Structure 1
Amino acid sequence: MDLKAHKNLATLKQKEHKKFLDALKRKPPKNLDYTVLETHEEVFENIDCLKCANCCKTTGPLFTEKDIERIAKHFRMSPAVFEQKYLRTDEDQDKVLRQLPCPFLGEDNFCSIYDVRPKACREFPHTDRKKIYQINNLTIKNTLICPAAFDFVEKLQQNLDKK
Protein backbone atom coordinates (compact mmCIF):
# COMPACT_ATOMS: atom_id res chain seq x y z
CA MET A 1 0.00 0.00 0.00
CA ASP A 2 1.39 3.38 -1.02
CA LEU A 3 0.66 5.48 2.06
CA LYS A 4 2.12 8.65 0.56
CA ALA A 5 -0.24 8.43 -2.43
CA HIS A 6 -3.09 7.65 -0.04
CA LYS A 7 -2.36 10.74 2.07
CA ASN A 8 -2.14 12.93 -1.05
CA LEU A 9 -5.53 11.68 -2.28
CA ALA A 10 -7.09 12.03 1.16
CA THR A 11 -5.74 15.59 1.40
CA LEU A 12 -7.24 16.44 -2.01
CA LYS A 13 -10.63 15.07 -0.95
CA GLN A 14 -10.73 16.69 2.52
CA LYS A 15 -13.03 19.58 1.56
CA GLU A 16 -15.43 17.26 -0.25
CA HIS A 17 -15.47 14.81 2.67
CA LYS A 18 -15.97 17.61 5.19
CA LYS A 19 -18.88 19.00 3.20
CA PHE A 20 -20.47 15.54 3.00
CA LEU A 21 -20.03 14.82 6.72
CA ASP A 22 -21.27 18.29 7.70
CA ALA A 23 -24.43 17.66 5.65
CA LEU A 24 -24.99 14.47 7.65
CA LYS A 25 -24.77 16.49 10.84
CA ARG A 26 -27.26 19.10 9.64
CA LYS A 27 -29.80 16.55 8.45
CA PRO A 28 -28.99 12.94 9.34
CA PRO A 29 -30.61 10.54 6.87
CA LYS A 30 -33.07 7.96 8.09
CA ASN A 31 -31.33 4.75 9.21
CA LEU A 32 -27.90 6.45 9.17
CA ASP A 33 -26.54 4.28 12.00
CA TYR A 34 -27.54 1.14 10.09
CA THR A 35 -25.93 2.39 6.85
CA VAL A 36 -22.77 3.38 8.77
CA LEU A 37 -22.43 -0.09 10.28
CA GLU A 38 -23.17 -1.77 6.95
CA THR A 39 -20.57 0.44 5.23
CA HIS A 40 -17.98 -0.20 7.96
CA GLU A 41 -18.41 -3.97 7.57
CA GLU A 42 -18.24 -3.70 3.77
CA VAL A 43 -14.98 -1.72 3.90
CA PHE A 44 -13.32 -4.03 6.41
CA GLU A 45 -14.12 -7.10 4.29
CA ASN A 46 -11.51 -5.74 1.85
CA ILE A 47 -8.96 -4.16 4.20
CA ASP A 48 -6.15 -6.01 5.94
CA CYS A 49 -4.86 -3.72 8.69
CA LEU A 50 -1.76 -5.90 9.07
CA LYS A 51 -0.59 -4.79 5.63
CA CYS A 52 -0.68 -1.16 6.74
CA ALA A 53 -0.52 -0.44 10.50
CA ASN A 54 -0.08 3.24 9.66
CA CYS A 55 -2.11 4.17 12.73
CA CYS A 56 0.40 2.37 14.97
CA LYS A 57 3.35 3.92 13.14
CA THR A 58 2.18 7.53 13.05
CA THR A 59 -0.33 8.20 15.81
CA GLY A 60 -0.56 7.24 19.42
CA PRO A 61 -3.73 6.36 21.28
CA LEU A 62 -4.91 7.96 24.49
CA PHE A 63 -4.45 5.64 27.44
CA THR A 64 -7.24 5.63 30.02
CA GLU A 65 -6.53 4.65 33.62
CA LYS A 66 -8.26 1.31 32.93
CA ASP A 67 -5.99 0.78 29.90
CA ILE A 68 -2.91 1.52 31.98
CA GLU A 69 -3.96 -0.84 34.77
CA ARG A 70 -4.84 -3.65 32.34
CA ILE A 71 -1.65 -3.39 30.27
CA ALA A 72 0.59 -2.96 33.33
CA LYS A 73 -0.96 -6.12 34.82
CA HIS A 74 -0.24 -7.92 31.52
CA PHE A 75 3.44 -6.95 31.88
CA ARG A 76 3.40 -7.76 35.62
CA MET A 77 4.46 -4.24 36.53
CA SER A 78 2.84 -1.46 38.48
CA PRO A 79 0.80 1.14 36.59
CA ALA A 80 3.33 3.78 37.72
CA VAL A 81 6.27 1.85 36.25
CA PHE A 82 4.34 1.22 33.02
CA GLU A 83 3.55 4.95 32.73
CA GLN A 84 7.14 5.93 33.45
CA LYS A 85 8.48 3.52 30.85
CA TYR A 86 5.99 4.01 27.99
CA LEU A 87 3.84 7.11 28.48
CA ARG A 88 3.98 10.87 28.75
CA THR A 89 1.34 13.50 29.48
CA ASP A 90 0.55 15.67 26.47
CA GLU A 91 -0.58 19.31 26.27
CA ASP A 92 -4.22 18.24 26.85
CA GLN A 93 -3.16 16.34 29.99
CA ASP A 94 -3.84 13.02 28.24
CA LYS A 95 -1.61 9.98 28.71
CA VAL A 96 -0.02 9.10 25.35
CA LEU A 97 2.94 7.09 24.09
CA ARG A 98 6.42 8.51 24.67
CA GLN A 99 7.51 7.51 21.19
CA LEU A 100 6.24 6.44 17.79
CA PRO A 101 5.96 4.04 16.18
CA CYS A 102 4.16 2.23 18.97
CA PRO A 103 6.67 0.18 20.96
CA PHE A 104 4.22 -2.73 20.96
CA LEU A 105 4.13 -2.96 17.15
CA GLY A 106 6.20 -5.78 15.72
CA GLU A 107 8.12 -5.85 12.43
CA ASP A 108 5.28 -7.99 11.05
CA ASN A 109 2.72 -5.27 12.00
CA PHE A 110 1.28 -7.50 14.74
CA CYS A 111 0.54 -5.90 18.10
CA SER A 112 2.28 -7.61 20.99
CA ILE A 113 -0.47 -6.47 23.39
CA TYR A 114 -3.42 -6.97 21.03
CA ASP A 115 -5.61 -8.78 23.58
CA VAL A 116 -5.14 -6.00 26.17
CA ARG A 117 -4.63 -3.02 23.82
CA PRO A 118 -6.03 0.41 24.70
CA LYS A 119 -9.70 1.18 24.09
CA ALA A 120 -8.69 3.82 21.51
CA CYS A 121 -6.87 1.14 19.49
CA ARG A 122 -9.82 -1.26 19.69
CA GLU A 123 -12.18 1.43 18.38
CA PHE A 124 -9.94 2.95 15.67
CA PRO A 125 -10.82 4.26 13.08
CA HIS A 126 -14.23 4.78 14.75
CA THR A 127 -16.17 4.06 11.55
CA ASP A 128 -18.69 1.75 13.21
CA ARG A 129 -19.92 4.35 15.64
CA LYS A 130 -23.52 5.46 16.11
CA LYS A 131 -24.19 9.13 15.33
CA ILE A 132 -21.00 9.25 13.23
CA TYR A 133 -21.60 12.96 12.56
CA GLN A 134 -20.63 13.69 16.18
CA ILE A 135 -17.00 12.89 15.33
CA ASN A 136 -16.71 14.58 11.91
CA ASN A 137 -13.38 16.24 12.70
CA LEU A 138 -11.89 12.98 13.94
CA THR A 139 -13.20 11.09 10.89
CA ILE A 140 -11.64 13.65 8.53
CA LYS A 141 -8.34 13.45 10.43
CA ASN A 142 -8.44 9.65 10.31
CA THR A 143 -8.91 9.61 6.51
CA LEU A 144 -5.38 11.03 6.25
CA ILE A 145 -3.94 8.22 8.38
CA CYS A 146 -6.12 5.22 7.61
CA PRO A 147 -6.98 3.96 4.13
CA ALA A 148 -10.01 2.18 5.61
CA ALA A 149 -11.37 5.44 7.06
CA PHE A 150 -10.92 7.10 3.66
CA ASP A 151 -12.66 4.20 1.89
CA PHE A 152 -15.41 4.32 4.51
CA VAL A 153 -16.25 7.97 3.79
CA GLU A 154 -16.14 7.37 0.03
CA LYS A 155 -18.35 4.27 0.29
CA LEU A 156 -20.75 5.90 2.77
CA GLN A 157 -21.32 8.68 0.23
CA GLN A 158 -22.06 6.07 -2.43
CA ASN A 159 -24.32 4.02 -0.16
CA LEU A 160 -26.34 7.03 0.92
CA ASP A 161 -26.67 8.25 -2.68
CA LYS A 162 -28.24 4.90 -3.58
CA LYS A 163 -30.95 5.30 -0.93
Structure 2
Amino acid sequence: MGPNDKVMVFCGTNGKTDYISVECIMRRLPSASIHSGKVQEEREQAINDIMDGTASILIATDVVSRGLDVGDVTHVINYDFPKYMEEYVYRIGRTGRAGKTGESISFLTKEDSANASELIEILEEANQTDVPKSLCDLAERYSKRNRNKREDENLPKRKSLTLG
Protein backbone atom coordinates (compact mmCIF):
# COMPACT_ATOMS: atom_id res chain seq x y z
CA MET A 1 0.00 0.00 0.00
CA GLY A 2 1.04 3.50 -0.71
CA PRO A 3 0.60 6.24 1.88
CA ASN A 4 -2.63 7.48 0.27
CA ASP A 5 -4.18 4.08 -0.50
CA LYS A 6 -7.46 2.98 1.02
CA VAL A 7 -8.49 -0.61 1.60
CA MET A 8 -11.89 -2.17 2.22
CA VAL A 9 -11.83 -5.60 3.85
CA PHE A 10 -15.10 -7.53 3.59
CA CYS A 11 -16.03 -10.14 6.16
CA GLY A 12 -19.03 -12.44 6.28
CA THR A 13 -20.04 -11.84 9.89
CA ASN A 14 -20.06 -9.10 12.50
CA GLY A 15 -17.84 -11.22 14.72
CA LYS A 16 -15.20 -11.69 12.02
CA THR A 17 -15.29 -7.94 11.34
CA ASP A 18 -14.63 -7.23 15.02
CA TYR A 19 -11.86 -9.84 15.12
CA ILE A 20 -10.01 -8.36 12.13
CA SER A 21 -10.52 -4.87 13.55
CA VAL A 22 -8.91 -5.84 16.85
CA GLU A 23 -6.01 -7.45 14.97
CA CYS A 24 -5.46 -4.20 13.05
CA ILE A 25 -5.62 -2.13 16.24
CA MET A 26 -3.08 -4.41 17.93
CA ARG A 27 -0.75 -3.87 14.96
CA ARG A 28 -1.36 -0.10 15.08
CA LEU A 29 -2.87 -0.05 11.60
CA PRO A 30 -5.13 2.97 11.01
CA SER A 31 -8.45 1.21 10.60
CA ALA A 32 -12.16 1.46 11.28
CA SER A 33 -14.91 -1.13 11.19
CA ILE A 34 -18.58 -1.12 10.38
CA HIS A 35 -21.33 -3.72 10.57
CA SER A 36 -25.00 -4.03 11.48
CA GLY A 37 -24.23 -4.66 15.16
CA LYS A 38 -22.74 -1.20 15.63
CA VAL A 39 -24.82 1.74 16.76
CA GLN A 40 -25.43 4.49 14.21
CA GLU A 41 -22.91 6.83 15.83
CA GLU A 42 -20.14 4.20 15.50
CA ARG A 43 -21.06 3.57 11.86
CA GLU A 44 -20.93 7.27 11.04
CA GLN A 45 -17.57 7.64 12.77
CA ALA A 46 -16.12 4.71 10.80
CA ILE A 47 -17.34 6.25 7.54
CA ASN A 48 -15.93 9.66 8.49
CA ASP A 49 -12.59 8.08 9.43
CA ILE A 50 -12.19 6.36 6.05
CA MET A 51 -13.44 9.40 4.12
CA ASP A 52 -11.12 11.91 5.78
CA GLY A 53 -8.09 9.60 5.81
CA THR A 54 -7.93 9.07 9.57
CA ALA A 55 -8.29 5.38 8.73
CA SER A 56 -6.87 3.83 5.58
CA ILE A 57 -8.52 0.44 6.18
CA LEU A 58 -12.26 -0.11 6.51
CA ILE A 59 -13.29 -3.56 7.73
CA ALA A 60 -16.93 -4.24 6.99
CA THR A 61 -19.72 -6.66 6.29
CA ASP A 62 -21.84 -6.31 3.16
CA VAL A 63 -23.66 -3.46 4.92
CA VAL A 64 -21.31 -1.15 2.95
CA SER A 65 -20.89 -3.08 -0.30
CA ARG A 66 -23.66 -0.98 -1.87
CA GLY A 67 -24.55 2.64 -1.54
CA LEU A 68 -21.49 3.91 0.31
CA ASP A 69 -19.30 5.96 -2.00
CA VAL A 70 -15.81 6.04 -0.55
CA GLY A 71 -13.51 7.71 -3.03
CA ASP A 72 -10.04 6.49 -3.81
CA VAL A 73 -10.44 2.90 -2.61
CA THR A 74 -7.42 1.21 -4.13
CA HIS A 75 -7.81 -2.31 -2.73
CA VAL A 76 -10.68 -4.60 -1.85
CA ILE A 77 -9.98 -7.72 0.15
CA ASN A 78 -12.64 -10.41 0.33
CA TYR A 79 -11.50 -12.02 3.56
CA ASP A 80 -14.70 -14.06 3.46
CA PHE A 81 -15.97 -14.73 -0.03
CA PRO A 82 -19.59 -13.61 -0.48
CA LYS A 83 -22.36 -16.18 -0.75
CA TYR A 84 -23.72 -14.60 -3.92
CA MET A 85 -21.68 -13.54 -6.92
CA GLU A 86 -23.71 -10.34 -7.23
CA GLU A 87 -22.20 -9.24 -3.90
CA TYR A 88 -18.73 -10.00 -5.24
CA VAL A 89 -19.35 -7.62 -8.13
CA TYR A 90 -20.60 -4.90 -5.78
CA ARG A 91 -17.64 -5.37 -3.44
CA ILE A 92 -14.96 -5.13 -6.10
CA GLY A 93 -16.84 -2.21 -7.62
CA ARG A 94 -15.57 -0.14 -4.69
CA THR A 95 -12.25 0.17 -6.56
CA GLY A 96 -11.58 1.60 -9.95
CA ARG A 97 -14.09 4.43 -9.74
CA ALA A 98 -13.96 7.41 -12.10
CA GLY A 99 -11.55 5.70 -14.47
CA LYS A 100 -9.05 4.75 -11.78
CA THR A 101 -7.75 1.23 -11.29
CA GLY A 102 -7.70 -0.87 -8.19
CA GLU A 103 -6.86 -4.32 -6.94
CA SER A 104 -9.06 -7.01 -5.49
CA ILE A 105 -7.87 -9.98 -3.48
CA SER A 106 -10.25 -12.78 -2.58
CA PHE A 107 -9.73 -15.72 -0.28
CA LEU A 108 -11.73 -18.83 -1.11
CA THR A 109 -12.10 -22.05 0.82
CA LYS A 110 -13.61 -25.39 -0.08
CA GLU A 111 -16.92 -24.03 1.21
CA ASP A 112 -16.81 -21.35 -1.50
CA SER A 113 -16.20 -23.81 -4.34
CA ALA A 114 -19.76 -23.51 -5.68
CA ASN A 115 -18.85 -19.99 -6.84
CA ALA A 116 -15.48 -20.85 -8.38
CA SER A 117 -16.68 -21.43 -11.97
CA GLU A 118 -18.70 -18.23 -12.03
CA LEU A 119 -15.77 -16.30 -10.60
CA ILE A 120 -13.55 -17.63 -13.38
CA GLU A 121 -16.12 -16.41 -15.93
CA ILE A 122 -16.14 -12.94 -14.33
CA LEU A 123 -12.34 -12.79 -14.32
CA GLU A 124 -12.14 -13.86 -17.96
CA GLU A 125 -14.84 -11.37 -18.96
CA ALA A 126 -12.81 -8.63 -17.23
CA ASN A 127 -9.74 -9.73 -19.25
CA GLN A 128 -7.78 -10.89 -16.23
CA THR A 129 -4.70 -12.45 -17.71
CA ASP A 130 -3.81 -14.68 -14.79
CA VAL A 131 -6.70 -16.80 -13.52
CA PRO A 132 -5.06 -18.72 -10.66
CA LYS A 133 -4.59 -22.44 -11.28
CA SER A 134 -5.77 -23.10 -7.72
CA LEU A 135 -9.10 -21.43 -8.58
CA CYS A 136 -9.46 -23.58 -11.70
CA ASP A 137 -8.64 -26.67 -9.62
CA LEU A 138 -11.27 -25.68 -7.02
CA ALA A 139 -13.90 -25.30 -9.74
CA GLU A 140 -12.98 -28.66 -11.28
CA ARG A 141 -13.14 -30.48 -7.93
CA TYR A 142 -16.57 -28.96 -7.24
CA SER A 143 -17.81 -29.95 -10.70
CA LYS A 144 -16.49 -33.49 -10.28
CA ARG A 145 -18.13 -33.84 -6.83
CA ASN A 146 -21.45 -32.73 -8.30
CA ARG A 147 -21.16 -35.13 -11.25
CA ASN A 148 -20.43 -38.02 -8.87
CA LYS A 149 -23.33 -36.99 -6.63
CA ARG A 150 -25.75 -36.88 -9.60
CA GLU A 151 -24.52 -40.25 -10.81
CA ASP A 152 -25.05 -41.72 -7.33
CA GLU A 153 -28.58 -40.34 -7.22
CA ASN A 154 -29.39 -42.02 -10.54
CA LEU A 155 -28.25 -45.47 -9.44
CA PRO A 156 -31.10 -47.92 -8.87
CA LYS A 157 -32.03 -48.26 -5.24
CA ARG A 158 -31.34 -51.60 -3.60
CA LYS A 159 -34.30 -53.46 -2.26
CA SER A 160 -33.98 -55.17 1.06
CA LEU A 161 -34.98 -58.78 1.31
CA THR A 162 -36.55 -60.31 4.32
CA LEU A 163 -35.60 -63.91 4.88
CA GLY A 164 -38.02 -65.82 6.89
Q: Which range, TM-score by smaller chain?
A: under 0.3
Higher helix proportion (structure 1 or 2): 1
Higher strand proportion (structure 1 or 2): 2
TM-score w.r.t. length of structure 1: 0.28
TM-score w.r.t. length of structure 2: 0.27
